Amino acid sequence: MLKIIGLAKSFGAKAVLLGSDIEFESGRVYALLGPNGSGKSTFLRMLWGELMPSAGSLRYGDETVDTVSPRWKGLIGPVPDDDALIEGLSVRGHLRLSAALMGMSAAEARAREEQLIELFGLGEAAEAKAAEDASRGNRKRLAIALALLGNPSILLMDEPFSGLDAERAEDLCAIMKALAGRGLIIIFSCHGVELARKAASHAAIVENGFLRCVPLESLSPHAASGLTAKDILPWIG
């Protein structure tokens, strides 16, 4: 379980988040909802250590979290809204560089690379010299693949559906549900409640600087690819 305790963030005199307590349980997908400017991206950036909170703390299990520590970085899979790709590096180059930085063996890196390229439909994009030449949707799927290359316990995604067509969005919903079946905590921001209902069981709503967690009822029964937890990415969980 990830516990957020009094987490607040201000930029100068502007208070964005005012100090909420909220819990995220393992094995659940949470949609982070709220209007533009409400603090969704700020919240995610604090969780993955890009921004330091003005007040409050995080606990994961029995431990207080240091969001800039190597241990925490190894537990999370962040997907920023801008995808954070390296100019001039190919799809496979991104995956291989990330695997090398993780200390992964060459054989394991190749195996995971192929599974991720297949799962996210990146075969054609992988033929391009540079990932930035791929479509917005392919770049987004690559960013998610990079977040899943290791063995994250928490997947944090800022607008993961941006640039995805309807079919790829349905596939991503199915992937998230399957990974939650492995015990991951998944938190993603989005704008539409209907889209949130397709992927998530709960919503973390940002209102007037505070977060509250509520269940999302009437989940869509459709899972486009029919994936189950045991079908994908065997190194996770």
Question: What one-character-per-residue DSSP string does 4-24 give?
Answer: EEEEEEEETTEEEEEEEEEEE
CB neighbour list of residue 63: distance below 8 Å, 6 or more residues apart: none
Which tens digits make up the pLDDT trace of 127-169? 888 898 888 999 999 999 999 999 999 999 999 998 889 999 9
Please write the tens of the pLDDT for every residue from 10-19.
998 898 999 8
pLDDT, position 195: 81
Residues listed for the chain:
237
| Bridge partners (DSSP) listed for residue 18 | 8
How far is residue 193's CA from residue 210's CA, in Å, rounded to a whole number? 18
